[in-house]
Amino acid sequence: MRFILTMLFTFLALTANAAEAPRTVLAFYNDNGDELRSNPLHLLAEMPFNHLGLKFEYHDIADPLPLDAVTDPSVAGVITWFDNGAIRRPAAFLDWLEEMVVAGKKYISFGDMGFLGANDGSPVPSRDRTNRFLERIGVRILGEWTNVTFDTEVVKRDPDMVDFERPMTGKLPPHERYEAVEGVGTSHLRVRRQQDGSTSDLVVTSANGGFVEIGWVNYRDPVFYRTQWYVNPFAFVRKVFDTDSLPKPDTTTLSGRRIYFSHIDGDGWRNVSLVKGYRKDQVYSSRVVLEKAIAPYPDLPITVGPIAADLDPEWSGDPEAQQIAREIFALPQVEVGHHTYSHPFEWGFFEDYTTLKEAPFATLYDHLDRAAWSEEVLESDAAKPSGLLADAYDVPRGFGSKPFVLEREFGEASRYVEQFAPPGKKAEIVLWSGNTSPTPRMIAASREAGLLNLNGGDSRFDPEYPSVSYVPPVGRTFGGQVQIFAVNSNENTYTDLWSGRYFGFQDLILTLRNTESPRRLKGINVYYHMYSAERPAALQALLKNLEFARSQRLTPVAATHYARIGEGFYTTRFDVLGPDHWRVLDRGRMQTIRHDRADDRVVDMGTAVGVLGYTRFQGNLYVALDEAVAEPEYRLVARGEPARSDNVSSLVDARWHLWDLTRDGASLRMKGQGFGHGAMQWRGMAPGQWRVEATLPDGSTVSDEQTVGSDGVLIVEIPTHAYEPVGIVIRPVEAG
């Protein structure tokens, strides 16, 4: 009884003293009529913040200020990236910013500060008032705008902070004069005008925030509009927000290895393949994908999303298209998804939908059901061609046999596609189509239908897109909804929108390498369409990507698993229980927490709760959590320091997803599920012979035995797939 009371009081004391680790950054933008997805906050800044464990909460500067953020412990700070020098209520915004900084929140200004001018006739803060605030973040305005920079030279540059992807050389951008405040701000880039010797500090950080002059954050070439960073965004955010002390929900890694998943959008399901051995028989591309890219890879999971209209004979489907769906969904490595019912191209077009609005395009659709549309609508004066849509599509969706119904695109599409799957296999995810830009109402409708969502982002990082600015964030949050992005782009962007260079998708390998080193930014996602099997070169590029994936050290998962991990990134919270001591809350299926620059630390496994183990990569520590434990807790201790973790077995890495770990004397018991053989590595094992045994769903067992040496490392492999969860026991083999 005394022990129980002691544990209870300890728990209550920890709970009372716990402080939340702030992860939310309020991102303010000036709504100029463009979609937020085209704003530099989203396009450029958000991914480095996500990588460093922080998430954006967007606010239109014209909306009421979030006054409660000053005392909100979850808010870490504020970022602005305005494109002009005028906002609404600049004085009120400046006052609020000062309250935030005084309360310990950080402030970053990329681009124009905004509060130097008003676009609504309200008062503008004086220079003195502005500087009183800016001095808190280590900089002050001196004025004297320099537009012609022929005699401006860089006299100080911090190589760790600037010249990241493009050096500051040649013709320099215009700038105003700023001065780093001595003892408060650190200048990382200083320029001097030769004619009068005046200097300006254009990249400044401090304990309270940071500033980069407009035009000096990133470069945009005038021909192809490709962007590159002048400033190192990772170093800048890391310094301002002190992110080395922050545990980071990590979407790239599971069980200590890089995540892999793959998904197919159904476009081109019924395209006739030109691949040798198929073209004479007019075989559908989807069958070629089945036989060449899915069936031969039982170790690589794939989520297949047909367009329901492509299978439905009332729209455009036929028996052969349906039969291929049955054969694909019957494979154990295949997960059922869908790519909507009618494949909307421009989602915004359907936000305020009426049949009259779409009537001008109706006659452009194949297999038009005139009765469903009604002759009255089709013959109305409104049903006249009205030119291109906003995103330059010829029609607002791919299939228009019947008028658009939002609910049909989600729940009805799921039910239609599921009839071609074995019993028990359900469609749990919608793969966004077209411009992949649904409105919040549409995301909400997909969730009401019980679906996860994926697509958008189009990550590229290769010679054609030579910057991390083309690596997107985890997703986008807006209107109270979350859209999870695909991890990599598909073959469409590599083939000039499927008009040439059909071999181009093989360049995905360059992005996969560049997002792994020098820092792991993304997992591996082989994302493509059924039309990849239409052209021989495209099919070969796809197979090259699959073979590359096979050569890597991976933990393969289904697309729904990754989507849930992505959602967990946004919900995860940390209670700080003490120095280097955390409790993880509300993480969903997010099972990896990363600690940067942690070569000198280890997890104290002797006191950890709900931790499988940890691994090291690029100087960082990746902590693997146990999905069976709702609120894991652990602390880090100095490497080499005597701790209760010295002789505690822990996971280094595994190809399978593992959970529900219990230690029974020297033995380990857990559950596992995965694709390919169950390779795994454990540390802290006693020297001697060890046996790992998996009990399959049918009751049979498979096993492996290996010897552990003086290093205490056990490397074993369960020689079977585990498409369904299996029970695993690791135990010492008795002598004799």
360 within 8 A of 395, measured Cβ to Cβ:
no
- pLDDT value of position 34: 65
pLDDT > 90 in the chain, percent? 88
> Rounded to 5 degrees, what are φ and ψ at 327?
-70, -40
Residue 380 pLDDT > 90: no
Contacts of 254 (CB under 8 A, 6+ apart): 555, 557, 565, 591, 592, 624, 657
Strands 611-617 and 620-625: antiparallel
pLDDT in tens, 311-324: 999 999 999 999 99
Q: Which of 407, 306, 398 is nearest to 353 (CA)?
A: 407
| Range with the poorest average pLDDT among 122-126, 429-433, 610-614 | 122-126
- pLDDT value of position 3: 39
> Rounded to 5 degrees, what are φ and ψ at 521?
-100, -30
pLDDT, average across residues 422-450: 97
pLDDT band for 12, please (50, 70, 90 cuts).
very low
Q: Which of 128, 140, 62, 59 is nearest to 100 (CA)?
A: 59
> Reduced to 3 states, what is the DSSP secondary structure of residue 724?
strand
C-beta contacts of 377-382 below 8 A and 24+ residues apart:
380/356, 382/356, 382/357
pTM: 0.95
Distance, in Å, from the CA atom of 201 to the CA atom of 190, rounded to the nearest integer, reads 4
Token pair belonging to 624? 């693997």
pLDDT band for 37, please (50, 70, 90 cuts).
confident
Residue 16 pLDDT > 50: no
Q: CATH for 256-341+406-557?
A: 3.20.110.20
pLDDT, average across residues 135-142: 96
- pLDDT value of position 386: 58
Residue 387 pLDDT > 70: no
Instruction: Give the Cα-Cα-Cα angle 606, 612, 618 (nearest 5 degrees).
Output: 100
Burial of 433 per CB tally in 10 Å (0-12, 13-18, 19+): buried
632 within 8 A of 625, measured Cβ to Cβ:
yes
- pLDDT value of position 33: 65
Residue 645 pLDDT > 60: no
| Range with the poorest average pLDDT among 47-51, 85-89, 535-539 | 85-89
Token pair belonging to 592? 């990896």
Distance, in Å, from the CA atom of 3 to the CA atom of 14, rounded to the nearest integer, reads 17
pLDDT band for 35, please (50, 70, 90 cuts).
confident
pLDDT in tens, 188-243: 999 999 999 999 999 999 999 999 999 999 999 988 889 999 999 999 999 999 99
Distance, in Å, from the CA atom of 82 to the CA atom of 60, rounded to the nearest integer, reads 11
Distance, in Å, from the CA atom of 248 to the CA atom of 623, rounded to the nearest integer, reads 10
pLDDT > 70 in the chain, percent? 95
- pLDDT value of position 249: 98
- pLDDT value of position 276: 96
> Reduced to 3 states, what is the DSSP secondary structure of residue 143?
strand
Distance, in Å, from the CA atom of 698 to the CA atom of 711, rounded to the nearest integer, reads 36
Sign of the CA dihedral 439, 442, 448, 454?
negative
Range 19-246 has CATH code 3.40.50: yes
- pLDDT value of position 17: 59
Mean pLDDT of the chain: 94
- pLDDT value of position 643: 54
Contacts of 313 (CB under 8 A, 6+ apart): 319
Distance, in Å, from the CA atom of 541 to the CA atom of 505, rounded to the nearest integer, reads 6
- pLDDT value of position 642: 57
Distance, in Å, from the CA atom of 642 to the CA atom of 156, rounded to the nearest integer, reads 45
CA of residue 671 relative to chain centroid, distance: 27
Residue 6's H or E segment, with its range, is: helix 2-17
Read out DSSP for 502-542? TTGGGGHHHHHHHTTSSS----EEEEEEGGGGTSHHHHHHH
Q: What is the CA radius of gyration of the chain?
A: 28
pLDDT in tens, 43-75: 999 999 999 999 999 999 999 999 999 999 999
pLDDT band for 548, please (50, 70, 90 cuts).
very high
* Exposure letters 102-125 (e unless 16+ CB within 10 A, then b): eeebbbbbbbbbbbbebbeeeebb
Using the structure block, give the residue that is written with the tokens 């008009």: 499
- pLDDT value of position 152: 94
Strands 302-305 and 334-336: parallel
Distance, in Å, from the CA atom of 118 to the CA atom of 87, rounded to the nearest integer, reads 5
pLDDT band for 6, please (50, 70, 90 cuts).
very low
> For the chain, which residues make up each domain, given as ranges?
19-246, 256-341+406-557, 354-403, 574-732
User: Residue by residue, what is the 3-state secondary structure of 84-132?
Assistant: CCCECCHHHHHHHHHHHHHCCCEEEEECECCCCCECCCCCCCCHHHHHH
Residue 11 pLDDT > 50: no
Residue 584 pLDDT > 90: yes
pLDDT in tens, 254-303: 999 999 999 999 999 999 999 999 999 999 999 999 999 999 999 999 99
Contacts of 699 (CB under 8 A, 6+ apart): none
pLDDT band for 502, please (50, 70, 90 cuts).
very high
